Amino acid sequence: MTATATTAIAGGFSDPAIESARAFRAAMNVMARPGEIRDLDMARPPAPLSAAAGTLLLTLCDPETGVHLAGACDSAEMRGWLAFHTGAPVVSADRAGFAVGRWADLLPLDRFRIGTPEYPDRSATLIVELEALQQAGASLRGPGIKDSAALSLPDPAALAGNAMLYPLGLDFFFTCGGRIAALPRSTQISEG
């Protein structure tokens, strides 16, 4: 068996039913509570993808979900791993339901679908790999936040511009190692 084939098979859930349910709950909890950070490290995807980003892909993607791999995440190992564990096709940014990569590799954001007035849910969700993820920085307000929350965001101004498109726009998961946070398009952002 080649190294690429071994990489594709390894790193998935050890108990798919239990782990995918736990991961889905964690993903929905952080999306419902912007600024909250949770552990999410059940998968071991190929480098450079983090455990949290890999766990999200295993949980949220299937053969009907197009995934855009940006920058260093677009490798033969990553394509093989994603195909083996989810069956999700790798697609261009404009066709993606999900996209994963570092912030700079995902730009410009206007390449991704933001939904339509009739179907705002037909937008992309971006999984942004960060060097650090902290409850500090930009100030967040909106649904799921009691008064305000703080989160280290890669570009608060661009993300605030995305929120101005609501009910259209992109949703974001931020990952770092085995940790995850989220920013739905309904969240208002101001620099902290």
pLDDT category of residue 11 using cuts at 50, 70 and 90? low
Domains along the chain? 3-190 (3.40.50.11310)
Q: Which of 136, 59, 135, 72 is nearest to 98 (CA)?
A: 59
pTM of the model as a whole: 0.93
- CA gyration radius, the chain: 16
Is 137:192 a contact under the CB 8 Å cutoff?
Answer: yes
- Could you read off the pLDDT of 126-169 as tens digits, one per residue? 999 999 999 999 999 999 999 999 999 999 999 999 999 999 99
C-alpha to C-alpha distance for 168 and 113, rounded to whole angstroms: 9
In the sheet that 98-102 helps form, which strands lie side by side, from edge to edge?
A: 38-39, 179-183, 171-176, 125-129, 98-102, 67-69
pLDDT category of residue 5 using cuts at 50, 70 and 90? very low
Query: What is the mean predicted confidence (pLDDT) over 109-113?
Result: 97
Query: What is the mean predicted confidence (pLDDT) over 66-80?
Result: 96
Write down the pLDDT at residue 7: 54
Strands (E), 45-124: 67-69, 98-102
- Could you read off the pLDDT of 172-185 as tens digits, one per residue? 999 999 999 999 99
Report the sign of the C-alpha dihedral through residues 113, 126, 190, 143, in that order.
positive
Flag whether pLDDT at 192 surpasses 70.
no
Mean pLDDT of all residues belonging to the chain: 92
Question: What type of residue sits at position 164?
Answer: M
Query: What is the mean predicted confidence (pLDDT) over 106-124?
Result: 96
Flag whether pLDDT at 118 surpasses 60.
yes
